[in-house]
Amino acid sequence: MTTPMVKAEGVHKSFGAAHILKGIDLEVAPREVFCLIGPSGSGKSTFLRCINHLEQINAGRLSVDGQLVGYRQKGDKLYELKDSEVALQRRDIGMVFQRFNLFPHMTALENVMEAPIQVKGEAKAVARARAEKLLDRVGLADKAKNYPTQLSGGQQQRVAIARALAMEPKLMLFDEPTSALDPELVGDVLDVMRGLAEDGMTMIVVTHEMGFAREVGDALVFMDDGVVVESGHPRDVLTNPQHDRTKSFLSKVL
């Protein structure tokens, strides 16, 4: 059996008295495009943030590529990882947010070069060569010298994807990457994501783009109120939902 890229077992997360994730169980296989849908406030972003150690879970087990997030297990005891060890885990995971958060004072090329230089101590020439390739891959070779304000939202988001890829992650997390974009700019970003999927990248995609989920997704999970309500192949879940909550949600977004 291959090691799952992500495995969640009974994952709970609370903020103070607010119980947000109420026992999430799921598995993402390597090379899988795993789509996560659900109403606003159901805990989708919180779950992604736990995978990337931006939040710590309160109970359960969460692992990435066979390693517990934030912990090392010895026998039946868990030990918290040091900050430097957490940083090592996190650099294998790329994350793209709804808002692109590019560095405003850097060009597109510099944005993509930055992390490998700062985090991995990579030589500038190496980082530059990779960044040029990545900008080409997201269709922005001719925008390398542009600053974020000189790019459309869709172009900025494609730079953000290239920037995440520059760290050569084994897992990419997308949190509603097209939700802040004007409709005519959504397609180019989805095309880049489709290309990544074809190249075998493991991806968890929180999205309201049901067309993307149906065409590109290998698995689809519907989450509501901190639990997985329903999961399966996207075609099955989208065309033949089993639960009333799924049906009601889909009737609003489809």
| Contact between 46 and ligand ADP per CB under 6 A | yes
Closest approach of ligand ADP to the CB of residue 45, in Å: 3
Closest approach of ligand ADP to the CB of residue 76, in Å: 31
In the sheet with 67-68, reading across from the earlier edge strand, the strands are 18-28, 6-15, 59-64, 67-68
Nearer to Mg ion, 45 or 63 (CB): 45
Nearer to ligand ADP, 46 or 111 (CB): 46
Which residues 6-45 are close enough to bind Mg ion by CB under 5 A? 45
Between the alpha carbon of residue 121 and those of residues 107, 113, 124, 126, 170, the distances in Å are 20, 11, 9, 11, 19
Options 12-20, 84-92, 210-218, 232-240: segment touching ligand ADP (CB under 6 A): 12-20
| Contact between 41 and ligand ADP per CB under 6 A | yes
Nearer to Mg ion, 45 or 178 (CB): 45
| Contact between 202 and Mg ion per CB under 5 A | no
Site string for ligand ADP, 54-73 (x = CB under 6 A): --------------------
Nearer to ligand ADP, 25 or 114 (CB): 25
Site string for ligand ADP, 214-233 (x = CB under 6 A): --------------------
Which residues 45-104 are close enough to bind Mg ion by CB under 5 A? 45
Residue 180: what residue type?
A
Q: Are the CB atoms for 11 and 24 separated by under 8 Å?
A: yes
Closest approach of ligand ADP to the CB of residue 220, in Å: 15
Give residues in contact with Mg ion (CB under 5 A): 45
| Site residues (vs ligand ADP, CB under 6 A) | 15, 18, 20, 38, 40-46
